[in-house]
């Protein structure tokens, strides 16, 4: 409920900022439909190469997790996209009482995986929230922008291991 109310305030503020004159006949109905839309796989797509990377990493027996600042709807979206079984853990701010870049959310995720940070690779795209924060938590960060495609991820992880 708190996540939903937070999003409701964000959506309302966004419309007010974009157009202070914007009026809704029924903002609550509009928001309900919008919130439901982003809880479904119809609003999302799996990035190119991601399914292949997940399949290969899973085949290698690697523990995989998602650590995201999204809300509880993410679990249902992953299920609808057919990739939920790829992950050993999903850690969200509501699970940890903290959001990225706070160290606490990284610690909760590592505990769920049962791995120390130095044995964990974190793949992200935001400098502060992902790369710097995961490094501070002892993880090995990989900037997704440095990969030609996500299906190159297993090879990049192998390169990091060989460099140890």
pTM of the model: 0.90
The reported pLDDT for the residue numbered 164 is 79
The reported pLDDT for the residue numbered 108 is 98
Per residue of the chain (164 residues), give pLDDT as tens: 999 999 999 999 998 899 878 788 999 999 999 999 999 999 999 999 999 999 999 999 999 999 999 999 999 999 999 999 999 999 999 999 999 999 999 999 999 999 999 999 999 999 999 999 999 999 999 999 999 999 999 999 999 999 97
Per-residue pLDDT, 131 = 97
Residue 68's pLDDT is what? 98
**Geometric angle at alpha carbon 52, from 49 and 57, rounded to 5°:** 120
d(C-alpha 27, C-alpha 30), whole Å:
5
pLDDT at residue number 105: 98
Spatial CB neighbours of 152, under 8 Å, sequence gap ≥ 6: 49, 53
How far apart, in whole angstroms, are the C-alpha atoms of residue 148 and residue 163? 20
């Amino acid at each position: 409920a708190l996540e939903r109310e937070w999003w409701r305030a964000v959506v309302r503020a966004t419309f007010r900022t974009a157009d202070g004159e914007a009026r809704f006949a029924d903002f609550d109905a509009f928001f309900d439909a919008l919130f439901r839309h982003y809880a479904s796989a119809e609003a999302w797509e799996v990035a190119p190469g991601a399914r292949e990377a997940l399949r290969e990493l899973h085949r290698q027996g690697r523990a995989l997790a998602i650590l995201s600042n999204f809300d509880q709807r993410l679990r249902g979206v992953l299920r609808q996209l057919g990739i939920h079984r790829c992950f050993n853990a999903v850690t969200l701010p509501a699970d940890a009482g903290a959001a990225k870049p706070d160290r606490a959310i990284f610690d909760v995720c590592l505990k769920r995986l049962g791995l120390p940070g130095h044995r964990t690779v974190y793949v992200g795209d935001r400098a502060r929230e992902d790369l710097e924060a995961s490094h501070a938590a002892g993880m090995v960060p990989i900037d997704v922008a440095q990969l030609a495609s996500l299906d190159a991820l297993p090879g990049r992880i192998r390169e990091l291991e060989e460099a140890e």
